[in-house]
Structure 1
Amino acid sequence: MSDLILHHYPASPFSEKVRLILGAKKLAWKSVHIPMVMPKPDVLALTGGYRRTPFLQIGADIYCDTALICDVLEHRQPLPSLYPAAEKGVARIVAQWADSTLFWAAMAYSLQPKGAASMWEGAPPEAVKAFAADRGAMSQGMTRLRPADATGAYKSYLRRIAHMLEQNDFLLGDAPCVADFAVYHPLWFTRHRTPAVADIFQATPVVLDWVDRMAALGHGAPEKMSATDAIAVAKASTPAVHPDDHFQNDHGIDLGSRVGIAAESFGLEVTEGELVAATRTQLTLRRVDERAGTVHVHFPRAGYVMRAVA
């Protein structure tokens, strides 16, 4: 069975979500650190355009977006499950809310001037400018909350999370599920990356207790790997076969067509390739790179758009 290779960087909140799931499932994994900002030549050699963090590599298969990565890890190690049988739909809906609405409120609050100053303390000014320019390019066209608006929203969301924890150790019961991991990572960012503004948690101590329980799950035992070695793994591997009997043609685009796939919002870079699979839950492109060879790049349907390329 091929290694799980996570391409990430330590300060990435969405990466923390996946790292914690890997720890909870006690999965062995290889850790490839990638740059926080462009250029990212080693990333693009594998993804072909997608540049959000993290992404998961298994041989010559590249999985984009943490929602899809969660499904892949669940398939690799079904227990403990991310999707409790009695609350499967609720868990996914809460996770989707956390990865979007909660996340952006937490970021707008955390990166107010006081928080940003603590995050970048000691960093050279050019690094701060590069990060701001990079994220500005990724968020073109988005409506971003101002810090004052984000503060009120974040406080409300923390109270709602506290209500969910009044009777249980975790959001939906006695064990963590995908909802917990998705809600955790924006709060982790506030607490650990912008500690100067982490006093927002003081009004909801039950949430802080839950945060500590989540953190105790750990990251397992990752093994460092270089980007060069990860690309070599892709080059030496063959992508998984995708039977076409599960083809769900919602776009009127046949398998074998050249298409482009991009996120609905934030990080709109397009990945182009040959459509080789379109199932109920994901889209898969085949692309060829000089360094990585033939790879399959996978995207979840939800949150992404696909268009034919002439």
Structure 2
Amino acid sequence: MTDLILHHYPESPFSEKVRLMLGFKKLPWKSVHVPRIQPKPDVVALTGGYRRTPFLQVGADIYCDTALIGDVLEHVQPEPPIYPPHLKGVSRIFAQWADSTLFWTAMAYNIQPKSAATMFPNEAVAQAFLADRKAMRSNMTQLRPADATSAYRSYLRRIAHMADEHDFLFGAEPCVADFAAYHALWYTRHRAPVMADILQATPSLIEWMDRLAALGHGRPEPLSAEDAVTVASNAEPLPPGENLLVDSAFQDDHGIALGSRVSITAESFGTEATEGDLVAATRTHYSLSRTDPRAGTVHVHFPRIGYVLRKADPA
């Protein structure tokens, strides 16, 4: 199989989710560091517009969103599973809550004036980052810090009840629920340590976090962004049904035929559109074919849940 190339940056919480999944599966991977804020020319060359972090590249196939990346990693290395058969439904539903409600509550708590001073080297960098993220959540309502603090405390207690019972949230082994819940708390503990006192009321969660951190990050090797673009330009995207997404049957819920020119955007955060030709619309994902002067022809893949498919505006 072609190398797994993760495009990420060290401080990215969703990247930590994927890094731990790679560690759990003991997979080798190439590590490409991307900028935290715009401009991101190498990212856009591969994704066509999508700029959320991280994304996974395998040759000329680009997999967006950590929910879809989890599916890819499970296909590449089925054991140990992140979707155990007896937890497949509940773990995915919990992970979706953790990646949305829990995450945004945690981040509204984490990033406050008190912590921003320790997160960024200077005021200009802080303001640039906050302005970039504000633009990315243009149609989202952000919790006020006081409301986020109250909600975060409640969520931590509820997750701690689960950690009180088992080594991991749903049993003796980690699953996708653990990785999804962990990364927001990891940000509190490691990226905003001046805010981490909130974790002290739930010691079982700290022990659970230590067990997850001990999984490590697999076997990363550095790769430049330019070299990753070259990898794509020298490869051909795999046909639908032969890539690392197991389902390929067309499921038409939009009245949009395969081969149509379409755009895909996230429902909320990071709503920059990716435009291309629709080559797959299955039960679980969409795939677009697009051509870039540097990256060549690539297929960009998105999960159905959380993304909006539309016919592209006529030129």
Q: TM-score range by the shorter chain?
A: over 0.9
2:260 is matched with which residue: 244, 248, 257?
257
> Aligned-pair RMSD on alpha carbons?
1.0
Q: CA 1:220/1:245 → structure 2, altered by over 3 Å: closer, same or farther?
A: closer
Q: Which residue of 2 aligns with 1:297?
A: 300
Deviation at 1:166, TM superposition (A): 1.7
TM-score (norm 1): 0.98
Q: Which residue of 1 aligns with 2:126?
A: 128
2:237 is matched with which residue: 228, 235, 239?
239
Range that drifts further, 159-168 or 96-105: 159-168
1: CA distance, partners of 2:79 / 2:5: 20
* 1:226 and 2:224 are equivalent in the alignment: yes
Deviation at 1:66, TM superposition (A): 0.2
Give the secondary structure class of the aligned counterpart of 2:263.
strand
Deviation at 1:245, TM superposition (A): 6.4
Q: CA 1:151/1:230 → structure 2, altered by over 3 Å: closer, same or farther?
A: same
Q: Which residue of 1 aligns with 2:206?
A: 208
4+ residue runs over 3 A deviation: none
2: CA distance, partners of 1:191 / 1:146: 20
Give the secondary structure class of the aligned counterpart of 1:305.
strand
Could you tell me which amino acid in structure 1 is paired with residue 27 of structure 2?
L
1:180 is matched with which residue: 154, 178, 199?
178
Q: Which residue of 1 aligns with 2:191?
A: 193
- Structure 2 residue runs without a partner (length 5+): 242-246
Q: Which residue of 2 aligns with 1:83?
A: 83
Give the secondary structure class of the aligned counterpart of 1:222.
strand
Could you tell me which amino acid in structure 1 is paired with residue 187 of structure 2?
F
Can you list the C-alpha shifts for 1:248-304, whole angstroms capped at 9, x where unaligned? 111100000000000000100000000000110000000000000000000000000
1: CA distance, partners of 2:131 / 2:196: 25
Can you list the C-alpha shifts for 1:50-97, whole angstroms capped at 9, x where unaligned? 000000000000000000000000000001100111111000001000
Matches within 5 A, 1:92-171: 92-120=92-120, 123-171=121-169
Could you tell me which amino acid in structure 2 is paired with residue 223 of structure 1?
E
2: CA distance, partners of 1:308 / 1:118: 44
Give the secondary structure class of the aligned counterpart of 1:256.
coil
1: CA distance, partners of 2:124 / 2:118: 16
2: CA distance, partners of 1:191 / 1:245: 41
Can you list the C-alpha shifts for 1:13-35, whole angstroms capped at 9, x where unaligned? 00000001001100000000000
Q: Which residue of 1 aligns with 2:63?
A: 63
Could you tell me which amino acid in structure 2 is paired with residue 39 of structure 1?
P
Q: Which residue of 1 aligns with 2:74?
A: 74
1: CA distance, partners of 2:294 / 2:280: 23
Q: Which residue of 1 aligns with 2:27?
A: 27
Deviation at 1:130, TM superposition (A): 1.0
Deviation at 1:124, TM superposition (A): 2.7
Give the secondary structure class of the aligned counterpart of 1:217.
coil
Deviation at 1:118, TM superposition (A): 2.1
Percent identical: 69
- Structure 1 residue runs without a partner (length 5+): none
Range that drifts further, 244-253 or 7-16: 244-253
